[in-house]
Amino acid sequence: MDKILRIDMGAEGGPKFKTTPPGDYAGMGGRALTSAIVSKEVPPLCHPLGADNKLVIAPGLLSGTTAAMSGRMSVGCKSPLTGGIKESNAGGQGSQVLARLGYAAIVLEGKPADGKLYKVTINKDGVQVSPDDSLKMLGNYDLVDKMKAEFGDKITTISIGQAGEMKMASASIAFSDMEMRPTRHAGRGGVGAVMGSKGVKVIVLDDTGMKMRPPKDPEKFKEANKKWVAGLKKHPVTGEGLPAYGTNVLTNVINEAGAYPTKNFMWGRFDGCSKISGETQAETENARGGKGSATHGCHRGCVIRCSGTYYDKDGHYMTKQPEYETVWAHGGNCGIDDLDAIAMLDRLDDDFGLDTIEMGATIAVAMEAGVAKFGDAEAAISLVKEVGQGTPLGRILGNGAEVTGKVFGVERVPIVKGQAMPAYDPRGVQGIGVTYATSTMGADHTAGYAVATNILGVGGNVDPLSSEGQVELSRNLQIATAAVDSTGMCLFIAFAVLDQPETFQALIDMINAFYGLELTGDDVTALGKSVLSNERDFNARAGFTAKQDRLPEYFLKEKLPPHDVTFTVKDEDLDQVFNW
């Protein structure tokens, strides 16, 4: 990964590209790299869909190696949804493949003046950027099939659907998985709209003829990787819970805790929960598909394998196993308890290229406004179809919960910095409320997953219903997450790393053996802090103040049943999260 590919989509006479050495960005990967480039090179006050914004796509420090779990890709830009800096990351094959091709990052710059749609191909022989208007308004599934027909079945794709082309603020970027399906998405913050604004429909990667990245010290690297895998297999969450039921194992757990946001965050428990739980989902998938339901990786080298495949009643492929967040967003949050309908919504989101969290939260806001009834699965499906078709209502919904709330005059809109909250009510899990409020990303559970300690007892125990200890918890998790997101590791490793010091050490040993470094745990903390500082600095220059680090006021006033709690962490304490 010794070069950065920069493609100027607005160059005179058509797109031009060049590869440059990493320069100031040497030694960075993943989120550290995307946030450094965006923070340094993007004017914070620019229009997110304008020529001055940049879309940065970067594998992690260990991507393209034999290190288990190292295939997450980071995508960074100024977000059309939040107006601040964005790092959204995804699984799929892209990260390993791009790293093996030798690229530390792809940077899409400028904006084409010709209104054409482009495809970019990258392989061992180089780069090609070519216009291809036959791709216009294709869904991600048809697009990937077309690319397979053109380039063969050894490729990996990074693409946008109709939502990205229409530059909707909920638009995602799809990364193809091991079966070459566009099921893994950098979902949050409207990154797909930025790719659409650059006029790039798809990036086709082919690493045929390229080798695995070699470590500086192969023996030590192999040894550390062995301990790493053993540590992940030993932990009950990464070794048992996630492989058996996928992320949807959380539905029963969070519902039982009374923190499962139901019908647009009105209640903390959903009475249809057992019909959409991970246990029911796994049973349904196993009965219909027979194999490959759970224990399936989203990229080569995943050993946790939290993913799976969802088949319809006749045994035909429908979508990948919907994640907990998706099942919640399109399920409990909309009062829907029908797994087949949720799977259909997941499929539509993946095809149109939409963030499932933002879409589910938006439909729930629309339901509160009376556009459809809570629990009406057919109505939810037709609303998402309207988004894909770009009808006037679809364009409103496709721009997210905040826009939809404004258009329909809804007060209860669960957002921070314009981005919809995920599947944990901040009143029932106060630590995640601190993360939602203060994260540089807007409401984002992955930015500092306090649910681990508040509910799951991982990394200690902090009472989820009390304000005590939540600021420190969220701070430490946000720092650790920023560092993990820079390695290319899937965030689910955090369960084992937080509980097992020797597994954390194995991760550091792998980085050291690969790069010939002598990093310590303190260096990892320093990396996390520097990433967050870069992001905070960008947001401050974009006009964000402490006012943006707050939850909507109804979370402070309206009690959440069954525990009848409000969010009680004080504003002055929220302002201490980044005071280290």
**Of 91 and 110, which CB lies nearer to ligand SF4 in the complex structure?**
91
Q: Nearest CA to 192 among 396, 336, 400, 31?
A: 400
**Of 175 and 436, which CB lies nearer to ligand SF4 in the complex structure?**
175
For residue 245, the minimal CB distance to ligand SF4 (Å) is 12
**Of 123 and 307, which CB lies nearer to ligand SF4 in the complex structure?**
307
Q: Footprint of ligand SF4 on residues 216-255 (CB under 6 A)?
A: none
How many Å apart are CA 316 and CA 314, to the nearest integer?
A: 6
**Of 181 and 475, which CB lies nearer to ligand SF4 in the complex structure?**
181
**Of 9 and 298, which CB lies nearer to ligand SF4 in the complex structure?**
298
**Of 92 and 258, which CB lies nearer to ligand SF4 in the complex structure?**
92
Instruction: Give the sheet arrangement for strand 118-123, strand by strand.
Output: 126-131, 118-123, 200-205, 156-159, 173-175, 184-186
**Of 371 and 490, which CB lies nearer to ligand SF4 in the complex structure?**
490
For residue 447, the minimal CB distance to ligand SF4 (Å) is 16
**Of 38 and 69, which CB lies nearer to ligand SF4 in the complex structure?**
69
Q: What angle do CA 259, 261, 265 make, to 5 degrees?
A: 125
**Of 123 and 176, which CB lies nearer to ligand SF4 in the complex structure?**
176
Which DSSP string do the residues of 177-209 spell out, in sequence order?
-TTS-S-EEE-GGGHHHHHHHTTEEEEEE--TT
Name 413's Cβ contacts closer than 8 Å, sequence gap at least 6. 365, 401, 402, 404, 405, 552
194's tokens: 């930025």
How many Å apart are CA 346 and CA 311, to the nearest integer?
A: 12
**Of 167 and 184, which CB lies nearer to ligand SF4 in the complex structure?**
184
For residue 484, the minimal CB distance to ligand SF4 (Å) is 12
118-123 and 200-205 strand pairing = parallel
Q: Footprint of ligand SF4 on residues 307-366 (CB under 6 A)?
A: 307
383's tokens: 């609303």
For residue 461, the minimal CB distance to ligand SF4 (Å) is 24
Q: Of 173, 490, 494, 513, which lies in the binding site for ligand SF4, with binding defined by CB under 6 A?
A: 490
How far is residue 410 from each of residues 223, 254, 371, 394, measured CA to CA in Å?
A: 56, 26, 11, 17
For residue 100, the minimal CB distance to ligand SF4 (Å) is 17
How far is residue 99 from each of residues 158, 205, 559, measured CA to CA in Å?
A: 14, 11, 48
For residue 305, the minimal CB distance to ligand SF4 (Å) is 6
461's tokens: 């125990």
Q: What angle do CA 206, 210, 216 make, to 5 degrees?
A: 135
Q: Of 15, 76, 91, 94, which lies in the binding site for ligand SF4, with binding defined by CB under 6 A?
A: 91
Is there binding between residue 414 and ligand SF4 (CB under 6 A)?
no
Q: Footprint of ligand SF4 on residues 538-577 (CB under 6 A)?
A: none
3-state secondary structure (DSSP) of residue 127:
strand
**Of 60 and 552, which CB lies nearer to ligand SF4 in the complex structure?**
60
* String marking each residue 68-87 x if it binds ligand SF4 according to CB under 6 A: -x------------------
**Of 175 and 374, which CB lies nearer to ligand SF4 in the complex structure?**
175
With beta carbons less than 8 A apart as the criterion, state whether 161 and 192 touch: yes
For residue 568, the minimal CB distance to ligand SF4 (Å) is 33
**Of 28 and 249, which CB lies nearer to ligand SF4 in the complex structure?**
249
Write the single-letter amino acid at 305: R
For residue 301, the minimal CB distance to ligand SF4 (Å) is 8
Task: Return the H-helix or E-strand segment holding 156.
Answer: strand 156-159
For residue 92, the minimal CB distance to ligand SF4 (Å) is 8
Q: Footprint of ligand SF4 on residues 163-222 (CB under 6 A)?
A: none
Count of residues interacting with ligand SF4 (CB under 6 A): 12
Which regions of 53-102 does DSSP assign to beta strands (E)? 55-59, 73-78, 85-90
For residue 312, the minimal CB distance to ligand SF4 (Å) is 22
Query: Count of CB atoms within 10 A of residue 304's CB?
Result: 25
Q: Footprint of ligand SF4 on residues 111-150 (CB under 6 A)?
A: none
For residue 575, the minimal CB distance to ligand SF4 (Å) is 33
Half-sphere CA count of 488, side-chain side, radius 13 A: 36
How many Å apart are CA 562 and CA 29, to the nearest integer?
A: 43
For residue 441, the minimal CB distance to ligand SF4 (Å) is 18
How many Å apart are CA 195 and CA 496, to the nearest integer?
A: 35
Q: Nearest CA to 411 among 555, 203, 580, 202?
A: 555
Q: Footprint of ligand SF4 on residues 42-71 (CB under 6 A)?
A: 69
Q: Nearest CA to 437 among 294, 303, 280, 567?
A: 567
For residue 75, the minimal CB distance to ligand SF4 (Å) is 16
Q: Of 25, 103, 260, 492, which lies in the binding site for ligand SF4, with binding defined by CB under 6 A?
A: 492
Q: Footprint of ligand SF4 on residues 284-313 (CB under 6 A)?
A: 297-299, 302, 304-307
Query: Count of CB atoms within 10 A of residue 273's CB?
Result: 20
Footprint on this chain of ligand SF4 (rule: CB under 6 A): 69, 91, 297-299, 302, 304-307, 490, 492
